[in-house]
């Protein structure tokens, strides 16, 4: 249901190259690895100052009302973050007293189905992809989060060559089947 999420893709799509596909996929994999390696400072440095990091809740609805499957922007969301609030979440993890992540979870972020769309802004691309985040913690707690994402990547002169300017996510669960949501996507 990613199509219900606002898109910035240009109406007239410019052609993209295998080289760009390769470059963007490699960036997404490195970014995912930073989260799994708990290199949160490095990950935070990739976030643009104007980032919107958003995951709506989902409703189970009948087929005739599939256009109302996601919570609206003024309704309950699982994440609705800006750079400062993500920073607070990350600083919390450094205290050693964020019990939901102390001891830290083992996570693995898998990214696939990467599609690139051009936008009307130079150097900005809209990326659609699927994710699977596996979390295992303590003795045997295991959670699997699967969904889709629509990111805006912005060209940058940082070491990775890209900044993350927007991340809109759809999780394929309506009732969240975990005792909390203490990992990043």
Partner 1 sequence: MAFTSKVRLLRILSSLFMNQCRHRGMRLCRADAGNSKAFVCSYHGWAYDIAGKLVDVPFEDRAYGKVDKEQWSPIKVPCLDTYKGLIFGCWDEQVPPLEEHLGGMKWYMDLMFDRVEGGTEAVGGVHKWVIDCNWKFAAEQFCSDMYHAPFSHISPVIAAMPPGADPSQAAWPMEGRQFSDPNGHGTGFFLNAPGFLQALLGEEVATYYEETSRPEAIARLGEIRGAQMDGSHMTVFPSLSFLPAINTLRAWHPRGPNQIEVWALTIVDKKAPASVKDAYRKAVLRTFSAGGILEQDDGENWTEIQKILRGHKARQTLFNAQMGIDNDRHDDPDLPGKTNYVYSEMAARGFYGRWQEMMMAESWADLSCGGVSDDSIKGEADNA
Binding site for partner 1 (CB under 8 A): 57, 59-62, 64-65, 68, 71-72, 74-81, 85, 88-89, 91-95, 97-101, 138, 141, 174-182
Q: Closest approach of Cβ 144 to partner 1, in Å?
A: 14
Q: Closest approach of Cβ 64 to partner 1, in Å?
A: 8
Residue 36 CA to residue 94 CA, distance in Å, equals 15
Q: Closest approach of Cβ 33 to partner 1, in Å?
A: 22
Closer residue to partner 1, CB minimum distance, 26 or 180: 180
Q: Closest approach of Cβ 58 to partner 1, in Å?
A: 9
Contacts 24+ apart (CB under 8 A), 6-12: 6/168, 7/117, 7/126, 7/150, 8/119, 8/120, 8/121, 8/124, 8/126, 8/152, 8/166, 9/117, 9/118, 9/119, 9/126, 10/117, 10/118, 10/119, 10/120
Q: What is the CA radius of gyration of the chain?
A: 17
Closer residue to partner 1, CB minimum distance, 18 or 64: 64
Closer residue to partner 1, CB minimum distance, 79 or 125: 79
Closer residue to partner 1, CB minimum distance, 98 or 130: 98
Q: Closest approach of Cβ 139 to partner 1, in Å?
A: 8
Residue matched to tokens 């300017």: 165
How many CB atoms are closer than 10 A to CB 96?
Answer: 8
Closer residue to partner 1, CB minimum distance, 11 or 179: 179
């Amino acid at each position: 249901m990613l199509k219900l999420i606002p898109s910035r893709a240009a109406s007239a799509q410019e052609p993209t190259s295998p080289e760009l596909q390769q470059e963007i996929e490699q960036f997404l994999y490195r970014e995912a690895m930073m989260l799994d390696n708990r290199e949160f400072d490095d990950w935070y440095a990739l976030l643009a100052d104007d980032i919107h990091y958003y995951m709506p809740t989902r409703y189970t609805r009948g087929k005739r009302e599939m256009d109302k499957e996601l919570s609206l922007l003024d309704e309950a969301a699982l994440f609705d973050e800006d750079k400062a609030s993500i920073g607070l979440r990350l600083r919390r993890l450094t205290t050693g007293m964020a019990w939901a992540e102390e001891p830290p979870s083992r996570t693995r972020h898998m990214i696939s189905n990467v599609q690139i769309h051009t936008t009307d802004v130079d150097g900005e691309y809209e990326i659609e992809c699927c994710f699977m985040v596996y979390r295992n913690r303590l003795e045997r707690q295991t959670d699997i989060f699967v969904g889709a994402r629509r990111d805006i990547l912005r060209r940058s002169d940082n070491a990775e060559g890209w900044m993350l300017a927007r991340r809109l996510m759809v999780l394929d669960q309506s009732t969240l089947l975990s005792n909390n949501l203490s990992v990043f996507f």
